[in-house]
Amino acid sequence: MKRIPRPSRSTTNLSNPTNQRLNMYALAAAAAGVELLASAYPADAKIVYTPSNIPITVNGAIVNLDLNHDGIADFQFYAGYQGPQGVRRRGSFPPEGNHGSDLMVTPAQPSNRVWGVESHNTLCAAALPKGTKVGRHGPFQPGHSSLIMAFATGNSIGGTAFGPWLRVNQAYLGVKFVVKGKVHFGWARIKMVGGNVGFPANITGYAYETIPNKPILTGQTRGRDEIGLKEPHAALTVPTRQPASLGMLALGAPGLAIWRREESITATD
């Protein structure tokens, strides 16, 4: 019985250009596969940034800021004013009587804190420049209390004004807050609006680092693995409405009367 000879196998040598093209195709296919996997299984975000347009109006409602969008307020803002009517423009002599204003920030939760700095022998909320490292070594307020951002009081004879946010156009508030027992760092960008009465302001954006205890730079909106909320939900840009009361005028400032400031401060660079 004769054996049927098996066909011989020969090796084909491809030219160098062909080999290069095949290698490029293989790399492209691998990259496409990685991209598909990445889209199917997104990497954990590190920085969550939310652009916003949240007004802090004088004698308006307390504004709640929810940095991580979990439905729990992390910080509260309030701009207060008390004094006679007919306030004149900045630079003019104030009317008779006591008058004054303040802009305050308060941690909404007992463990949350604000980056502090001393002004006029008072611990106030710092107005940080862009690029400031906000981390565990920052000078955060030692306890749960409200901090002054801007404050002014006076009468027809004279007055006083202090606070880091008096003479800035826009700056950053450094914060730390606790989520499920873990400390996270973040920032809020605040623009001073200016006006004839009080210290109106606007929260124009905020961000936080999702990795516990990892620092973040003020103004930083992206990381190696990042997520940005380009279109924040409408509810995020509307202050929580609460009935106004005299208690709001003294929000977080025990012992400090809310007065009309000597002159209306228009924010400058």
pTM for this predicted structure: 0.66
Amino acid 25: pLDDT: 46
pLDDT-derived band of residue 195, with 50, 70 and 90 as boundaries?
A: confident
- Does residue 45 have a pLDDT over 80? no
Q: What is the pLDDT of residues 168-193, one digit of tens each?
A: 999 999 999 999 999 999 999 999 99
Q: What is the pLDDT of residues 120-132, one digit of tens each?
A: 999 999 999 999 9
- Does residue 32 have a pLDDT over 80? no
Sketch the domain layout of the chain as residue ranges: 15-42, 47-249
Is the pLDDT higher at 204 or at 85? 204
Spatial CB neighbours of 152, under 8 Å, sequence gap ≥ 6: 100, 101, 102, 159, 160, 161, 162, 166, 259, 261, 262, 263, 265
Among residues 208, 206, 197, 203, which one has the least CA distance to residue 238?
203
- Does residue 269 have a pLDDT over 90? no
3-state SS class at 18: helix
Q: What is the pLDDT of residues 58-108, one digit of tens each?
A: 999 999 999 999 999 999 999 999 876 544 333 333 444 577 899 999 999
Amino acid 258: pLDDT: 34
pLDDT-derived band of residue 159, with 50, 70 and 90 as boundaries?
A: confident
Rounded Cα distance, 206 and 190, in Å: 9
